[in-house]
Amino acid sequence: METHPGDDAVPLKRPKGRAAPESLPWPQATREQWNDYRWQLSNRITSVDDLAGLCGISAEETRLLSRVTDLYRIGITPYYLSLARFDDPDDPILRQAVPSAEECFGAESGEDDPLEEEKDMPVPGLTHRYPDRCLLVVTNFCSMYCRHCTRKRIWAMGEAAKTEFELSKMFAYVKRHEEIRDVIISGGDPLTLPTERLEYILKNLRKIPHVEILRIGTRVPVVLPMRIDDELCSVLSKYGPVWVNTQFNHPREVTPEARQACDRLLRAGVPVNNQTVLLKGINDHAEIIRKLNTELLKAKVRPYYLFQCDMVRGLSHFRTRLSKGIGIMEALRGHTSGLAIPSYVVDVPGGGGKIPLMPNYILSIGEERTVLRNYEGIIVSYEESPDDGRPSARPETAPAAPRNDVYRLLTGEVRALIPAGNERMARRKRRCESASPTT
Ligand SMILES: *Cc1c(COP(=O)(O)O)cnc(C)c1O
Ligand code: SF4
């Protein structure tokens, strides 16, 4: 068992070094309180002064950081802070949780909403970007505010959950759109909602016949694992299939408490997948990602995505180059369990969505053979099957919606996809129109 403040037998290991706190601000907490998520929430660090009281920040730095938190609030659970090592200036826990001046100084580069989620919002809080799934922001509240958050822009709207009226508009949209079969409940952190409110959301979405699966995006297993209690688990299993996507970014976050939280979810029939954000100086090394992902497999959590850090205002100090992510993928594939290998994706500016990136394994494509290379650098000639004229399989049901994408180029339905506003096509059209006697 980990040690906790208030545990008389084994005192919490005091971080050593320059910025070491003399004591944690919760020396009176009992183990019972520590394990109660409500206690964790009401004892969050919510100001730079709280933090300064903990880890010897100079008065000048305190003033500077207060200017940062005027823009982007601070919130750290005692549990998450207890994972920190204060003597390490590059501590991966502190870098994710403690504000830095770069959040403001780096503000010239990046945008508040580079993924244009707001532009793909038919009703406030609901982003419908992909054909068969949509994303709902149901609250702006998080138990911990990650400094690298992509949705930092919504923090300014206050720590409020969406009202029943706002939610009802989202439910109505999902109901009207029969093509939506997968609803992602996001935020903020949906698992910080009161259990009844979460149940209300799940129940209403479950009532919609075409909604097949519900997903919850949450960092609670990482920053507030005690929230995953029996009551919550029974609600989640009642409205299944519910999937949870969480965000472990560093092996040090995979603690006994976090494993237990994931285990409770799994026992409730909720598969847990992980979405790591690639962060400079925190986890941008193949060995850290490999260790993280194999630790997650031990907890039966599947690494799903490795996200390129978005071009959001105030995040530039966290961003790596794309080559870093591709290099990490190169170091994983073949070298460790395939289950430990996520897809590396970049969510592109302008609402283009997620694009997977990986090293090239195809060296050359010929008519009869394709030349591939493996992870060791062995180059292989792969014989293609001869075309024997037999048709491919046919699905029992016709594809749902007409497509207008690259896939149609492969099926031969269209010969080219032409960008809107192509000047040559516009000229053609004008010529046709002027030649036509009917117009
Ligand atoms: C990431 C995302 C999804 C889900 O994408 P998957 O690849 O299905 O996990 C859906 N909607 C939006 C707006 C997203 O950003
Ligand atoms: S938990 Fe998610 S939504 Fe909340 S601050 Fe962290 S990254 Fe952002």
Distance (Å) from CA 188 to ligand 2 centroid: 6
For residues 359 and 235, state if they share a domain.
yes
| Domain span at 169 | 118-363
Question: Tell me, what CATH number does 153's domain have?
Answer: 3.20.20.70
Ligand 2 in reach of 76 Cβ (< 6 A): no
Per-residue confidence in pLDDT tens, the chain, 439 aa? 344 443 433 333 333 333 445 556 677 788 899 999 999 999 999 999 988 887 778 888 899 999 999 999 999 999 999 999 988 889 999 999 999 999 987 667 788 888 888 888 999 999 999 999 999 999 999 999 999 999 998 888 888 999 999 999 999 999 999 999 999 999 999 999 999 999 999 999 999 999 999 999 999 999 999 999 999 999 999 998 999 999 999 999 999 999 999 999 999 999 999 999 999 999 999 999 999 999 999 999 999 999 999 999 999 999 999 999 999 999 999 999 999 999 999 999 888 899 999 999 999 999 999 999 999 999 999 999 888 888 888 888 876 666 778 888 888 888 888 888 889 988 998 898 887 665 4
Q: Determine if ligand 1 sits within 6 Å of the CB of residue 129.
A: yes
Residue 145 CA, closest ligand 2 atom number? 5
Is 378 inside a domain boundary? no
Q: Measure 304 CA to ligand 1 centroid, in angstroms.
A: 12
99, 127: one domain: no
Out of 107, 131, 146, a domain closes at 107
Q: 42 with 73, same domain?
A: yes
Question: Is residue 270 in contact with ligand 1, taking CB distance under 6 Å?
Answer: no
In a domain, 386, yes or no: no
Probe residue for ligand 2, chosen from 80, 112, 146 as the CB with the greatest number of ligand atoms within 8 Å: 146
Residue owning the nearest CA to atom 1 of ligand 1: 354
Within 10 angstroms of residue 411's Cβ, the number of other Cβ atoms is 9
91/183 same-domain check: no
Q: Is the CB of 310 within 6 Å of ligand 2?
A: no
Residues 328, 214 share a domain: yes
Among residues 81, 107, 133, which one ends one of the domains? Answer: 107
For residues 183 and 286, membership in a common domain is answered with yes
Among 24, 117, 50, CA closest to 350 = 117
427 within a domain of the structure (yes/no):
no
pLDDT value of residue 24: 62
Tell me the angle at which helices 256-267 and 230-238 cross, rounded to the nearest 10 degrees: 40
My answer on whether 334 and 214 are in the same domain is yes
Per-residue pLDDT, 48: 93
Q: Angle at the Cα of 44 (from 88 to 81), degrees rounded to 5?
A: 20
Q: Is residue 187 part of a domain?
A: yes
Residues 220 and 273 in one domain: yes
Are 84 and 227 in a shared domain? no
Q: Does the CB atom of residue 189 touch ligand 2 within 6 A?
A: yes
Closest atom, ligand 2, to C-alpha of 186: 3
Number of structural domains the chain divides into: 2
CB-ligand 2 contact for 187 (6 Å cutoff): yes
Q: How far is the CA of 183 from the centre of ligand 1 (A)?
A: 9
Is position 112 within any domain? Answer: no
b/e string for 298-308 if b means 16 or more Cβ within 10 A? ebebbbbbbbb
Contact (Cβ atoms closer than 8 angstroms) between residue 269 and residue 300: no
In a domain, 385, yes or no: no
Active-site amino acid positions: 129-130, 133, 142, 146, 149, 151, 310, 347, 354
Q: Tell me, yes or no, whether 90 and 131 share the same domain.
A: no
Q: Tell me: do 184 and 84 sit in the same domain.
A: no
315 and 269 in one domain?
Answer: yes
Closest CA to 141 of 198, 179, 181: 198
Q: What is the pLDDT of residue 214?
A: 98
Whether residue 163 is contained in a domain is answered as yes
Q: Residue whose CA is closest, atom 8 of ligand 2?
A: 149
Question: Is residue 338 assigned to a domain?
Answer: yes
| Domain final position from 363, 381, 416 | 363
Cα gap 40→48, rounded to integer Å: 18
